[in-house]
Amino acid sequence: MTNPKKAFLTQGLTTEQALKLQEQFGRNELTPQKKQSFIRKVLHTISEPMFLLLLVAAAIYFFLGEPRDGAIMLIFVVGVISIDIVQEWKTDQTLNALKDLSAPHVQVIRDGRLQTIESANLVPGDLMMIAEGVKIPADGVILDANDLCVDESSLTGEAEGVWKVTVGKSEPSSDYWRKDACYAGTLVTQGSAAVQVDKIGAATEYGKIGANVASAPESPTPLQKQTGSLVKTCSIIAVVLFALVCIFTYFDLPDHTFSARIIESILSGITLAMAMIPEEFPVILTVFLSMGAWRLAKRQSLVRKLPSVETLGAVSVLCVDKTGTITMNQMSVQDVWAPAGDTDTLIETMGLACETNAYDPMEKAMIAYCEEKGVGTDHLFGGTLITEYAFTNELKMMGHVWRHDGEILIAAKGSPERILTICTLSDEERKQAENKILELSSQGLRVIAVGIGKPAGEDTIPAAITDCKLTLCGLVGLADPPRESVKEDISRCTKAGIRVVMITGDNGITASSIAKQIGMPNSDRIITGDELNGMSDEELCRRVRDVSIFSRVIPEHKMRIVRAFKENGEIVAMTGDGVNDAPALKYADIGIAMGKRGSEVSREAADLILMDDNFSTIVDTIRDGRRIYDNIRKAVGYVFTIHIPIAFSALLAPFLGISPACLFLLPLHVVLLELIIDPTCSIVLERQPAERNIMERKPRDPNEKILTRGILLKSVMQGFVIFATSFGTYFTFLQQNSENASLARTMGLSILMIANLFLVLVNSSNRDFIFQSIHRLAKDKVMWAILFGTIAGLLLILYSPLNSILKLAPLTIGQFFLVIGISAVSVLWYEAVKGIRSIRRT
């Protein structure tokens, strides 16, 4: 006879069944994903002030006499809007892809196979496997519990963990919260279980309370706030200038008809306003941050919260776990020592003290060592396990009580400090052991002490490990070598003004020895968990200024460590993998969870998930954070620069008494320029590689404004020179031949367009010269595409019939080269500034 429950426990649902059930019950989500419709998106984009202006300008042209101009303008406006919409669509896609990558996952058995699926794809009836560290994604009945303890405080408010039982194994109870069921939103703190899902999504108890359903609206990031106010300021100035220019133009044209005066004045006002509203800023932010996050994800580092990308560049303290992040987490037994030379008993007892299905790298190493010495698992775990003393972070030791080869054995192992307190030793033996501990740990080995006890009968087995009286079998020294790249990474961090702080549960001497091996500064100063307990917060703040190693800490200490650093004004990144690390990860400026080793809970609390658990990846991520921030700055500076010539020509024309038909830039041309400016920003500047000295400067001051005085000065200077050359050329040509305004305008406009290309190359680096930048970017196809695209576009509007429609005139070869020459001069002067700076630096 087949047992249906047993069959289900090995088979689970089939994929087909799961799909059908999903059709019926939907996805396992509290709030279904909303999709913004395409039309909505378009409307949203068009409703921005900039586009409204553009549309008004087009409409004025259209209805007031010049429909052809209006039509062309409209085509350009559609072009600009399309660029915007495509960009927004791309950002959305990127962000969704990122979200999918970091979505919570769960293990299920389907088609008779253990597999990992997205929690959202869980269906009622699924067989889900939960274990320590998992945040339970659905309600279900426990079919098979194994030491399962669950923290249900998010539902019941009860802080104490609840021990769960297999269904049918407990007395039926009238409690609302059942012991043989588990609930979505609660945490597994210990053990494991197989669970049959019965409720998902909003039908779960968690969904019913509506907890978290109204997820917090995304609040603007610090950068968004800054640019928001920047945009506001610029817009206010734009409105004032708009009014001024309108009025001035109106009085400037006394010989025109009333309606012509009105139209011309509005048009010149709009030209100015278009040039002044920095609508690019918000676009730059979202595009740069999301593209940045995407690039990071491709390199093993998953950003869960977009603002973290900006914070990354400001990180000044990096707190990392030693085991697994700094070291390889590949342990091996290097040395064993027994007081009386009886290493056989030591090795066997060590094996008996390990879990029968070891998953901890340290225990795996111990079992492997036993096997190497001829003590196989068959022999070790052949007896019956009577009871066990579980490992806790506070006790730092554990033990098993076996009935083995006819006798009862207590086998215990753990940190030597703790094991020695439960061993009976003479003073001399103790001294001897302590010397050996010191000797092993100064080699950077993790030292584990092993003790044995032989109670007379089952009734004399102590209830707690701390009540045992054991004989010391000896010590085991385990090596966990540092990752190869760590030494270099530490020196990279030191150069970049980032302090690396090591946090470990190991003993101080081991930690200090590892710290020395990897070249951490101040490797001899240590704060232990016990010292930490006795310290006030103020004292801790003082001590963390020069101590970078924390030993024998428990996860709860991490919170205090982060707080102390933050009090000192540092921007803290902190790694963590356990359930108890979650609060510290949330509190740190950048919480980093481990993708491989970490628990689901820690991943959910983190800002960043490290897919390869590798320290080097953290450092690379910080470097990229700095690069992205740099590029945002460069782009914002660029937008300022390039708008100055446009705005000033619009402002100046009426004052110089230039007639409306002869203006340098008509609204049409401003839109044309926008068509070039947008992609330059969001494509070209976004992909700029990092400055060569990016990891040789101090972390950025988090309070520093995105537009520093330096950047503003640079932009204004560059902008004015370009204005002077383009407008100057236009004006000179106009003076010479006031009949041929198109030629004058073409000269000026071409200078603007070509200067734009030079500008990007010059500003691509703050210190490298343009030829170095070109060399660096030579392999980048996109850069070439933009370069040639702009030139081809320019040639097209100059030499095709389009020119008359756009009110432009073809240039002679001589004039064309003159334009190139003037553009080059108008931008390349900045290379001299770089030159002077680099001389001063040396």
Residues near 510 by beta carbon (within 8 Å), at least 6 away in sequence: 441, 444, 445, 446, 447, 504, 551
- Whichever of 362 and 797 has its CB closer to ligand ADP, that residue is 362
Report the site for ligand ADP in 201-230 (rule: CB under 6 A): none
Q: Which option in ligand ADP, Mg ion, none does residue 391 bind, with CB closer than 5 to 8 A by kind?
A: ligand ADP
Q: Is 510 in the site for Mg ion (CB under 5 A)?
A: no
Considering only the stretches 63-71, 393-401, 488-496, 808-816, report the one whose residues sit in contact with ligand ADP under the rule CB under 6 A: 393-401
Question: What order of strands is seen across the sheet that includes strand 317-321?
Answer: 301-303, 608-610, 590-594, 572-576, 317-321, 499-503, 549-551, 526-528
Q: What are phi and psi of 43, to 5 degrees?
A: -60, -40
CB-nearer residue toward ligand ADP: 321 or 607: 321
Residue 264 CB coordination number (10 Å): 21
Rounded least distance, CB 322 to ligand ADP, Å: 5
Site for ligand ADP (CB under 6 A): which residue of 16, 147, 360, 407? 360
Write out 130-194 in H/E/C secondary structure: EECCCECCCEEEEEEEEEEEEECHHHHCCCCCEECCCCCCCCCCCCCCCCCEECCCCEEEEEEEE
Q: Which of 397, 585, 594, 676 binds ligand ADP (CB under 6 A)?
A: 397
The interface partner of residue 396, options being Mg ion, ligand ADP, none and the CB cut-off 5 to 8 Å by kind, is: ligand ADP
The encoded tokens of residue 815 equal 């004039």
The yes or no reply on residue 323 touching Mg ion (CB under 5 A) is: yes
Q: In whole angstroms, how close is the CB of 505 to Mg ion at the nearest point?
A: 6
Single out the segment in contact with ligand ADP by CB under 6 A; choices: 150-158, 276-284, 318-326, 596-604.
318-326
The distance of closest approach from Cβ of residue 752 to ligand ADP in the complex, given in angstroms and rounded to an integer, is 60
* Amino acid in position 552: R
Cα–Cα separations (whole angstroms), residue 324 to 125, 500, 561: 37, 15, 20
Shorter beta-carbon distance to Mg ion: residue 323 or 725: 323
Any idea what the Cα angle at residue 740 is, between residues 736 and 746, rounded to 5°? 100
Out of 164, 179, 304, 322, the residue judged to bind ligand ADP by CB under 6 A: 322
Among 164, 178, 413, 603, binds ligand ADP (CB under 6 A): 413
State the binding partner of 398 from Mg ion, ligand ADP, none, CB within 5 to 8 A by kind. ligand ADP
Provide the angle, in degrees to the nearest 10, between the axes of the packed helices 615-655 and 667-679.
Answer: 170
The answer to whether residues 165 and 145 touch, using CB atoms and an 8 Å cutoff, is yes
| Identified binder of ligand ADP from the candidate list 506, 570, 624, 674, rule CB under 6 A | 506
Candidates 102-110, 321-329, 508-516, 662-670; binding stretch for Mg ion (CB under 5 A): 321-329
Antiparallel, parallel or unpaired: β 317-321 and 526-528 = unpaired
Judged by CB under 6 A, the stretch of 95-103, 360-368, 603-611, 811-819 that binds ligand ADP is 360-368
Which pair of tokens denotes residue 295? 């690039």
Q: Binding-site residue total for Mg ion (CB under 5 A)?
A: 1
| Interface stretch with ligand ADP, choices 47-55, 504-512, 613-621, 687-695 (CB under 6 A) | 504-512
Which of the ranges 316-324, 457-465, 757-765, 812-820 carries the binding residues for Mg ion, by CB under 5 A? 316-324
CB of 187 to ligand ADP, least distance (A): 19
Beta carbon nearer to ligand ADP, 285 or 448: 448
Q: Which of the ranges 304-312, 396-404, 797-805, 811-819 carries the binding residues for ligand ADP, by CB under 6 A?
A: 396-404
In this structure, which amino acid lies at residue 650?
A: A
The verdict on whether 467 is a catalytic residue reads no
Q: Which amino acid is at 61?
A: Y
List binders of ligand ADP among 273-312 (CB under 6 A). Answer: none
The binder of 372, among ligand ADP, Mg ion, none, by C-beta within 5 to 8 A per type, is none
CA distance 545 to 572: 13
Task: Report the candidate in 832, 681, 672 with the shortest Cα–Cα distance to residue 749.
Answer: 672
Please work out, in degrees rounded to the nearest 5, the angle formed at the alpha carbon of residue 762 by the alpha carbons of 759 and 763.
80
Cα distances from 645 to residues 147, 245, 446, 680, 755, in angstroms, run: 72, 16, 66, 17, 11
- Other CB atoms within 10 A of residue 717 CB: 15
Residue ranges in 442-461 that form contacts with ligand ADP under rule CB under 6 A = 446, 448
Q: Is residue 504 close enough to count as binding ligand ADP by CB under 6 A?
A: yes
β pairing state of 301-303 and 608-610:
antiparallel
Size of the site for ligand ADP (CB under 6 A): 19
Comparison of 323 and 649: residue with beta carbon closer to Mg ion: 323
Closer Cβ to Mg ion, 227 or 323, answer by number: 323
164 binds, among Mg ion, ligand ADP, none (CB under 5 to 8 A by kind): none
Which of 140, 207, 453, 505 contacts ligand ADP by CB under 6 A?
505
Q: Which helix (H) or strand (E) segment is 335 a member of? A: strand 332-337
Between the alpha carbon of residue 596 and those of residues 221, 274, 599, the distances in Å are: 29, 50, 9
Minimum separation from the CB atom of position 282 to ligand ADP (A): 43
Q: Count of alpha carbons within 13 Å of 252, Cβ hemisphere only?
A: 20
Partner from Mg ion, ligand ADP, none binding residue 560, C-beta < 5-8 Å depending on class: none
Task: Candidates 105-113, 225-233, 319-327, 530-538: pick the segment binding Mg ion (CB under 5 A).
Answer: 319-327
Q: Considering the rule CB under 6 A, would residue 235 count as an interface residue with ligand ADP? A: no
Q: Is 112 left (phi over 0), alpha (psi -120 to 50) or beta?
A: left
Listed ranges 282-290, 394-402, 469-477, 750-758: which one lies at the site for ligand ADP (CB under 6 A)? 394-402
- Token pair, residue 137, equals 């994604």
| 3 state SS for 457-487 | CHHHCCCCHHHCCEEEEEEEEEECCECCCHH
| Residue whose CB is less far from ligand ADP, 505 or 625 | 505
User: What span, in angstroms and rounded, lies between the C-alpha atoms of 553 and 494?
Assistant: 24
Q: From the candidates 84, 321, 480, 620, give the one annotated as an active-site residue.
A: 321
Q: Please list the residues that pair with 333 across neighbouring strands.
A: 478
Residue with Cβ nearer ligand ADP (58 or 367):
367
Q: Give residue number: closest CB to ligand ADP.
A: 505
* Chosen residue from 125, 201, 292, 414 binding ligand ADP by CB under 6 A: 414
Select the residue interacting with ligand ADP from 8, 51, 62, 391 (CB under 6 A). Answer: 391
Quick one: which of 224, 249, 323, 725 contacts ligand ADP (CB under 6 A)? 323
Q: How many residues does the chain have?
A: 842
- 160 makes contact, choosing from ligand ADP, Mg ion, none, with CB < 5 to 8 Å by partner type, with none
Note whether 492 binds ligand ADP by CB under 6 A.
no
Which token pair is 309?
Answer: 């990308």
Q: Which residues contact 791 (CB under 8 A, 6 or more apart)?
A: 754, 757
Q: Which does 506 bind (CB under 5 to 8 A by kind): Mg ion, ligand ADP, none?
A: ligand ADP
Footprint (CB under 6 A) of ligand ADP, residues 362-381? 362-363
Measured distance CA(356)–CA(358) in Å, rounded = 6
Whole-angstrom distance, CA of residue 213 vs CA of residue 337: 57
Choosing from 81, 129, 130, 398, the residue that interacts with ligand ADP (CB under 6 A) is 398
Residues that bind ligand ADP (CB under 6 A): 321-323, 360, 362-363, 391, 393, 396-398, 413-415, 446, 448, 504-506
Q: Which residues are catalytic?
A: 321
Residues that bind Mg ion (CB under 5 A): 323
